[in-house]
């Protein structure tokens, strides 16, 4: 009888740290506690006896308090070149299935190339969730060891002048999460590699790519500690979603696409702003600003008592509107909104993401 087919994963990472340090991160319980779980989880307990025949165990904890325990035995420990260990979940969909992880560390370009094989899965369906889990876990390892921190794995591709790019950058700043900004225009090859729609920004966490600013910020919000970008109550969370959705469906179209952009990139006759587009936007803007104004009547924030994604979506748009010829006049009719905007504009997330002036 043939042996049953086994499935394996192969991954590699270049980490800007010496290989002794990278190898140690796999073998020391106190190090494992810092990174050995996917994004959005933490390691509640870790133990390791790193010698052939010694055992290791990690207890991962999700945000909802649920636990996932995994452990195994070291088969080879050759510091700092290679380690081999077995991997077995204590509960879940693969009880009793023992898989094997082999990790090779080689010095490369002043850092360490980590080459990993995780093999012995009985089926592709058992292997594939581990690919996602390891990607997120290795990102955490990279961030721990690379002097750039999370900016080593997180990249926002966009243009500092774009309101949506600024929204994402403000969200990252509010969370205190370092991220590399890669300057890319809409529909550039780098952006199209992540989003079929070509709009900016798009986001990468290692190999994991995302488009749509609200999806990016939700991912960041759940993946990292720091103040939540969503309000605490059901009603306020729904209100926050309402303003994010309204921005995507109407506010950006009216205030940016048909108004601000007409002045900044004039495309009308004789290279002048398209007066028709501006006039049609100006008809809609008072009602939109009045709705935002009412939402701020009793609070400095659009949804709840603290800054949320709602404010992050709206503030970059209003900052542009204000600079347009009719902008100050329109905003003067929305005093509550202007009071609330003044509070947002004091924040570091706003002051450090000012778009370059043309
Ligand atoms: N709903 C998208 C909208 C993104 C968007 O429209 N971005 C603008 C720049 S601020 C863009 O890429 N425009 C180029 C185009 O419309 O082709 C999001 O939330 O990310």
Per the omega criterion (within 30 degrees of 0), is the bond before 204 cis?
A: no
pLDDT computed for residue 358 by the predictor? 56
Residue 36 CB-density burial (10 A; 0-12 exposed, 13-18 middle, 19+ buried): buried
Strand 42-48 versus strand 67-78 pairing type: unpaired
Predicted model pTM: 0.89
Residue with CA at minimum distance from ligand 1 atom 6: 199
- Answer whether residue 190 shows pLDDT above 60: yes
Q: Is 212 near ligand 1, meaning CB less than 6 Å away?
A: yes
- pLDDT of 311-342, one tens digit each? 999 999 999 999 999 999 999 999 999 999 99
Q: Is 199 near ligand 1, meaning CB less than 6 Å away?
A: yes
Q: Indicate the top mutation candidate among 166, 197, 198, 200 to test ligand 1's pocket, ranked by most ligand atoms within 8 A of CB.
A: 200
- pLDDT of 91-140, one tens digit each? 987 778 999 999 999 999 999 999 999 999 999 999 998 998 999 999 99
Rounded CA Rg of the chain = 25
Report CA torsion sign: 214, 170, 39, 43: negative
Residue with CA at minimum distance from ligand 1 atom 13: 199
pLDDT > 90 in the chain, percent: 90
Residue with CA at minimum distance from ligand 1 atom 18: 212
| Start-to-end CA span in the chain (Å) | 72
């Amino acid at each position: 009888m043939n042996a049953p087919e086994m499935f394996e994963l192969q991954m590699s990472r270049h980490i800007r740290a010496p290989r002794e340090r990278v190898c140690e991160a796999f073998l020391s319980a106190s190090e494992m506690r810092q990174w050995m779980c996917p994004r959005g989880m933490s390691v509640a307990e870790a133990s390791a006896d790193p010698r052939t025949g010694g055992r290791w165990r990690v207890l991962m904890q999700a945000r909802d308090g649920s636990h996932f325990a995994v452990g195994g035995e070291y088969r080879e420990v050759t510091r700092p070149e290679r380690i081999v260990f077995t991997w077995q979940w204590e509960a879940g969909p693969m009880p009793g299935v023992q898989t094997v992880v082999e990790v090779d560390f080689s010095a490369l370009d002043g850092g360490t190339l980590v080459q990993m094989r995780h093999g012995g899965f009985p089926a592709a369906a058992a292997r594939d969730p581990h690919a996602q889990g390891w990607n997120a876990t290795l990102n955490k390892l990279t961030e721990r060891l690379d002097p750039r921190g999370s900016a080593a794995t997180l990249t926002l591709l966009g243009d500092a002048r774009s309101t949506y790019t600024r929204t994402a950058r403000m969200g990252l700043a509010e969370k205190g999460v370092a991220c590399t900004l890669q300057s890319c225009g809409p529909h550039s090859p780098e952006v199209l590699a992540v989003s079929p729609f070509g709009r900016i920004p798009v986001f990468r966490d290692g190999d994991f790519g995302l488009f749509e600013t609200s999806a990016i910020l939700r991912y960041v919000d759940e993946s990292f500690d720091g103040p939540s970008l969503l309000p605490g109550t059901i009603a306020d969370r729904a209100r926050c979603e309402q303003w994010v959705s309204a921005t995507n469906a109407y506010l950006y179209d009216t205030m940016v696409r048909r108004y601000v952009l007409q002045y900044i990139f004039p495309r009308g006759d004789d290279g002048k702003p398209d007066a028709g587009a501006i006039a049609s936007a100006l008809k809609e803007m008072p009602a939109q600003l009045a709705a935002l104004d009412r939402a701020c009547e009793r609070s400095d924030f659009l949804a709840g008592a603290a800054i949320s994604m709602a404010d992050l979506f709206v503030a970059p748009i209003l900052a542009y509107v204000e600079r347009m010829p009719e902008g100050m006049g329109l905003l003067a009719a929305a005093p509550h909104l202007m009071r609330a905007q003044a509070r947002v504009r004091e924040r570091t997330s706003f002051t450090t993401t000012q778009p370059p002036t043309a």
